[in-house]
Amino acid sequence: MHHRTQYTAEDFNDSGLERAGDLLLLQHPTLLISKRKLRQAEAIQMVRQKRESEAQNLGFSSRPFVLCGLPVKRPPAGCLLHERRNGRFVLQVTGHPSYGLPWGQDRLVPIFLATMAVRQQTARITFNSAAEMLDIFGIQQGGSQYRRLVASFQRIFGATIFFGSDTQRDRAAVVHCARFNFMTEARIWYSRAPDQQSLPGDCQNLIVLSDEFYGEISAHPIPTDLEAAKALSASPAALDLCTWLSYRCFTARGGERVPLFGEFGLVSQLGSTDYARPRKFREKLEGWLKLVRAMWPDCPAHIDQDGIALIVDRSMAVKPLIKTQ
């Protein structure tokens, strides 16, 4: 559903525009802007405000899914294997025959699990209800969204992950790898009543992470701006790029060049395989970068003049890191 509204500068007070959505409508009064786009614009404005005031909502991502993305779009029927590569790292995800591969917004579940595991310092995660996760990522409440969330957990729960790295030491290849599941147990409930915060009796919402997944999170917790994840929850490819850039810029030692194409290129790391043509991928990448820069204006990443590499430099996307060093 779309709506058209005509604004003038007089409709806003002297302190400036109150909402990012209003700014869009003021600059483009004849455009039809969907409610989803307006919500995203306002979420991006919230990210900017919290970043500038150093009040970011700190979450965490897990290394395998920062270095290599899950599928962006629904995989073809019967496709149960997804593979991505990032330099010496390789990620393989095998989907359950009954549920399929995790894809799209399913990538929010590992972020939620990693965040709760780091906050609670345990593999046995407890929380109020499924509505809590929907709220964290700005997903509308309701039965249909809950059913989508349950389907996401089923795909994540049923998936088997292989994450490995290979390095060369003299002439011998050394391979470090692990095959694991996300969870060993999950019990989740949902209530439409906002005032119902707990289940009756001794029941509670519980997710038990596998030893391997919890060990990976504990050893390599990667800080993530949860407000940014919320703003990009409906744009999985842009979310992948945002979390990847946050990590890549933090670990950069200076200006570094990341190839876009080839076996070790950025196109092989992100979760989409739909942009095999270089021109199409560059166009998409520019659009994703614009979304990232809208939230992180000083993001030091740009496509080089030849259009064959992404140039990144050292920077911090998550400002609370400054206070802990």
Residue 239 buriedness (CB in 10 A; 0-12 / 13-18 / 19+): buried
More confident position, 1 or 51: 51
Q: What is the pLDDT of residues 213-245, one digit of tens each?
A: 999 999 999 999 999 999 999 899 999 999 999
pLDDT value at residue 169: 45
pLDDT value at residue 173: 44
pLDDT value at residue 87: 82
Q: Which amino acid is at 150?
A: V
pLDDT value at residue 282: 93
The pLDDT of residue 325 is above 50:
no
Q: Which of 23-32, 184-193, 288-297 is predicted most confidently? A: 288-297
Q: Count of CB atoms within 10 A of residue 154's CB?
A: 17
Backbone angles phi, psi at 225, to 5 degrees: -85, 110
**What is the SS3 assignment for the chain?**
CEECCCCCHHHCCCCCCCCHHHHHHHHCCCCCEEHHHHHHHHHHHHHHHHHHCCCCCEEEEEHHHHHCCCCCCCCCCCCCEEEEEECCEEEEEECECCCECCCHHHHHHHHHHHHHHHHHCCCEEEECCHHHHHHHCCCCCCHHHHHHHHHHHHHHHHCEEEEEEEEEECCEEEEEEEEEECEEEEECCCCCCCCCCCCCCCCCEEEEECHHHHHHHHHCEEEEEHHHHHHCCCCHHHHHHHHHHHHHHHHCCCCEEEECCCCCCHHHCCCCCCCCCHHHHHHHHHHHHHHHHHHCCCCCEEECCCCCEEEECCCCCCCHHHHHC
pLDDT value at residue 145: 84
pLDDT value at residue 155: 95
Residue with tokens 């591969």: 101
Kindly report the average pLDDT of the chain as a whole number: 82
The pLDDT of residue 310 is above 80:
yes
> CA 129 to CA 124: how far, in whole Å?
15
Confidence of residue 129 (pLDDT cuts 50, 70, 90): confident
Q: What percent of the chain has a predicted confidence (pLDDT) above 90?
A: 53
Residue with tokens 């802007």: 33
Q: What is the pLDDT of residues 168-203, one digit of tens each?
A: 444 444 445 668 899 999 887 765 555 555 555 556
> CA 299 to CA 316: how far, in whole Å?
8
Q: In what order do the strands lie in the sheet with 160-169?
A: 81-86, 89-94, 160-169, 172-181
